[in-house]
A and B are shown apart, each in its own frame.
Chain A
Amino acid sequence: MPNKVKVATVWLDGCSGCHMSFLDIDGVLLDIADRIDLVYSPLVDNKVFPDMVDLTLVEGGVSSVDDRAKIIKIRKHTKLLLSLGDCAITGNVPAMRNRYPVAAIEERAYIENADVNQHAPNLIVPELLPQIQPVHTVVPVDIYLPGCPPPGPVIRDALVALLNGEMPNISPRFG
Chain B
Amino acid sequence: MPVKTFKIDGQDVSGREDETVLDIARENNVFLPTLCNIEGLKPVGACRLCMVEVKGSNKLLPACVTKVEEGMEVTTNSERLQKYRRMILEMLFVEGNHVCSVCVANGHCELQWLAEKLGVDHTRLNYMFPKKEIDVSHYRYAIDHNRCVLCTRCVRVCGEIEGAHTWDVSGRGINAKVVTDLNTPWALSETCTECGKCIQVCPTGALFKKSRAVGEMTKDDHFLPYLKTMREVDNAE
Contacts and interface: CB of A to CB of B under 8 A. Distances in A.
Interface string B110-128: 0011011001111100110
Interface stretch (B98-106, B149-157, B178-186): B98-106
Contacts of A92: 99, 101
Interface stretch (A4-12, A72-80, A106-114, A166-174): A166-174
Contacts of B113: 173
A47 interface: no
Chief secondary structure at chain A's binding surface: mixed
A141 B106 CA distance: 26
B208 interface: no
Contacts of B100: 86, 148, 173-175
Contact of B115 (A83, A96, A173): A173
Nearest to B129: A98
A60 interface: no
A175 B106 contact: yes
B99 A93 contact: yes
B123 A175 contact: no
Given A96-B97, A141-B122, A146-B121, A175 B127 contact: no
A90 B127 contact: yes
Contacts of A146: 121-122
Chief secondary structure at chain B's binding surface: loop
A144 B112 CA distance: 16
Contact of A175 (B112, B121, B130, B131): B112
Given A172-B116, A175-B106, A91 B101 contact: no
B167 interface: no
A131 B127 CA distance: 11
Contact of A145 (B98, B115, B116, B121): B121
Contact of A93 (B101, B120, B129): B101
A95 B130 CA distance: 11
Interface in B70-117: 93, 97-103, 106-107, 109, 112-113, 115-116
Contacts of A174: 98, 100-101, 112, 115-116
A144 B127 contact: no
Contacts of A173: 100, 112-113, 115-116
Interface in A82-130: 83, 86, 89-93, 95-96, 98-99
What are the 10 tightest A-B residue pairs by CB atom distance, in nearest-first order? Answer: A175-B100, A148-B101, A173-B116, A98-B129, A144-B121, A174-B100, A144-B122, A171-B119, A175-B106, A99-B131
25 contacts: A86-B100, A90-B122, A93-B99, A93-B101, A93-B102, A98-B127, A98-B129, A99-B129, A99-B130, A99-B131, A131-B129, A134-B123, A136-B122, A141-B122, A146-B122, A148-B100, A171-B116, A171-B119, A172-B121, A173-B100, A173-B112, A173-B116, A174-B115, A175-B106, A175-B112
Given A171-B116, A175-B112, 19 more contacts: A90-B127, A91-B129, A93-B101, A93-B102, A96-B97, A96-B99, A98-B129, A99-B129, A131-B129, A134-B122, A134-B123, A144-B122, A145-B121, A171-B119, A173-B113, A174-B100, A174-B116, A175-B101, A175-B106
